[in-house]
């Protein structure tokens, strides 16, 4: 069944006085992507996303001292991160559904506040069971961030600027995280410093949630789509309804299915969770020194997200059918090559590792400005929240959980160097080759969605 056969809808920008109301009666299409205050709104939702996304970095950066303080084996780190991601597999889509059925802003604010409280509680852990339970509960609330923010970003920005918006968002998150990483690493030199890491991060989460609660105004579903302006409030309300038929229809879009598989075989995220531990256990650095690589990694990630977002938007305009796929494929292939160079040779100096981590950060940073716009370009607005939840909170989280679980046990048995060769290295080369299929499916699926959105305006067009 073709996507264009889906009865649908894009938007909730629905205040009666919205610009779209006038356009619906005049028959004119407003300039796309000009949601008022869109960058401010993006910054407001990006704050809690930053806190939620980097909560895992507290565990990863301070892992060596946490494992030592609680007398835990290396496999415990893999179990902790795997459980956290497994929780996201279940609750990511659930949060997306709750947000759509109730209120996105309220849902996100509440989830962020509760995540902050449970992060603080994690700092009081006395043994592995307590740590596992507290971290698992935190992951339950953190799971709301990715699908909700990804959907809101697609509503704030049109197709021509989504790559830049996603790139800026993840660039800013990484920049702040790269500064926080070395600072967190210094807590390794403080008695029970890892506990303070969780206390501080939980407080940051709560504060950013409060800021969003006060200042953020939801733009509405599909607000950036030009065709939304051609619809009446009644049409928008009707098209906003989600049915199981529409959700099932997502899986008839080849590009979306391929993107799910692509995220399932993305092993590059393991560098963020096990990179510091690798440098400590396999290369002999102390925790505070090893944590220094998080700064160049983050700066490289920022450069990748900013440059990648700009490059993606430019290529999308110049080569709308294949440019964005080329960026995605390059990012996967190049990361695999650099990861092998960075982890399979003992370079001795932390400066060399810092440089290699910076390159890996850049290549990893190319992804958010590419994969989110690809999905948004082939999935109707009302289903993007569900699509992002599936891609990021289910498939990517499931892969991340499995890779971290394997890294913990395989690393304990055979060493982390072997793990780094196969997961961030060879698997990413396979991922890059796999992306070749998208050159065929993406242009066709993007055209089908544009035809669908245009068809939705037909009743208004004939009346006006």
- How far is the C-alpha of 275 from the C-alpha of 447, rounded, in Å? 41
| Superfamily holding 37-220+248-459 | MFS general substrate transporter like domains (1.20.1250.20)
The length of the chain is 464
Share of the chain above pLDDT 70, in %: 85
More confident residue, 80 or 315: 80
Per the CB < 8 A criterion, the answer to whether 308 and 370 are in contact is yes
- Judge residue 117's burial from the number of C-beta atoms within 10 Å of its C-beta, 0-12 exposed, 13-18 middle, 19 or more buried: middle
Per-residue pLDDT of 384-429, as tens digits, reads 877 887 888 788 888 888 888 888 888 878 888 999 999 999 999 9
Give yes or no for residue 14 having a pLDDT over 70: no
For residue 234, the model assigns a pLDDT of 55
Give yes or no for residue 182 having a pLDDT over 90: no
- How far is the C-alpha of 16 from the C-alpha of 384, rounded, in Å? 24
Record the tokens describing residue 306, joined without a space. Answer: 């900013």
Beta-carbon-side half-sphere exposure of residue 139 (alpha carbons within 13 Å): 23
Give yes or no for residue 463 having a pLDDT over 50: no
- How far is the C-alpha of 349 from the C-alpha of 342, rounded, in Å? 12
Lowest mean pLDDT among 171-175, 405-409, 433-437: 171-175
Per-residue pLDDT of 370-379, as tens digits, reads 888 899 889 9
Record the tokens describing residue 336, joined without a space. Answer: 């695999």
For residue 345, the model assigns a pLDDT of 92
Residue showing tokens 């609750």? 91
- How far is the C-alpha of 31 from the C-alpha of 20, rounded, in Å? 11
Using a cut of 0.85, tell me whether the model's pTM lies above it.
no
CA pseudo-torsion sign 219, 220, 225, 227:
negative
Per-residue pLDDT of 33-72, as tens digits, reads 478 888 888 888 888 777 766 666 777 778 888 888 898 8
Domain residue limits, the chain: 37-220+248-459
**Which range has the top average pLDDT, 95-104, 428-437, 454-463?**
428-437
For the beta carbon of residue 177, count every other beta carbon within 10 angstroms.
Answer: 24
Per the CB < 8 A criterion, the answer to whether 11 and 222 are in contact is yes
């Amino acid at each position: 069944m073709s996507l264009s056969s889906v009865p649908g809808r894009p938007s909730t920008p629905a205040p009666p006085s919205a610009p779209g109301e006038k356009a619906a009666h005049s028959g004119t299409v407003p300039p796309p992507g000009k949601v008022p205050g869109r960058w401010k709104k993006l910054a407001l939702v990006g704050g809690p996303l930053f806190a939620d996304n980097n909560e895992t970095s507290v565990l990863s950066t301070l892992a060596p001292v946490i494992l030592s303080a609680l007398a835990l084996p290396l496999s415990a780190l893999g179990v902790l991160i795997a459980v956290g991601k497994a929780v996201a597999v279940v609750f990511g889509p659930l949060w997306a559904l709750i947000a759509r059925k109730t209120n996105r802003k309220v849902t996100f604010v509440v989830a962020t506040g509760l995540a902050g409280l449970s992060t603080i509680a994690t700092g009081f852990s006395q043994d592995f069971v307590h740590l596992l339970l507290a971290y698992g509960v935190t992951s339950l609330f953190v799971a709301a961030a990715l699908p909700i923010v990804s959907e809101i970003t697609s509503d704030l920005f049109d197709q021509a600027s989504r790559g830049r918006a996603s790139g800026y968002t993840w660039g800013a998150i990484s920049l702040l995280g790269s500064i926080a990483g070395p600072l967190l690493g210094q807590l390794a030199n403080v008695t029970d410093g890892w506990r303070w890491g969780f206390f501080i991060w939980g407080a940051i989460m709560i504060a950013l949630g409060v800021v969003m609660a006060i200042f953020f105004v939801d733009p509405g579903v599909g607000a950036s789509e030009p065709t939304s302006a051609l619809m009446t409030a009644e049409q928008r309300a009707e098209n906003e309804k989600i049915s199981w038929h529409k959700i099932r229809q997502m899986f008839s879009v080849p590009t979306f299915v391929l993107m799910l598989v692509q995220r399932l075989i993305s092993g590059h995220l393991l560098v963020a969770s096990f990179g510091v531990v690798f440098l400590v256990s396999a290369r002999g650095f102390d925790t505070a020194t090893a944590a220094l690589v998080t700064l160049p990694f983050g700066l490289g990630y920022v450069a990748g997200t900013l440059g990648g977002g700009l490059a993606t938007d430019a290529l999308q305009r110049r080569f709308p059918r294949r440019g964005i796929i080329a960026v995605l494929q390059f990012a996967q292939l190049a990361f695999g090559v650099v990861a092998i160079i960075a982890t399979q040779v003992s370079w001795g100096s932390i400066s060399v590792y810092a440089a290699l981590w910076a390159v890996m950060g850049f290549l990893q940073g190319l992804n958010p400005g590419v994969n989110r716009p690809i999905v948004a370009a082939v999935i109707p607005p009302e289903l993007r929240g569900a699509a992002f939840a599936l891609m990021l909170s289910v498939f990517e989280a499931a892969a991340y959980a499995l890779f971290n679980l394997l890294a913990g046990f395989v690393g304990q048995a055979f060493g982390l160097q072997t793990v780094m060769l196969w997961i961030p290295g060879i698997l990413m080369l396979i991922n890059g080759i796999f992306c070749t299929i998208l050159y065929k499916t993406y242009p066709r699926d993007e055209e089908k969605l544009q035809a669908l959105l245009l068809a939705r305006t037909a009743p208004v067009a004939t009346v006006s």
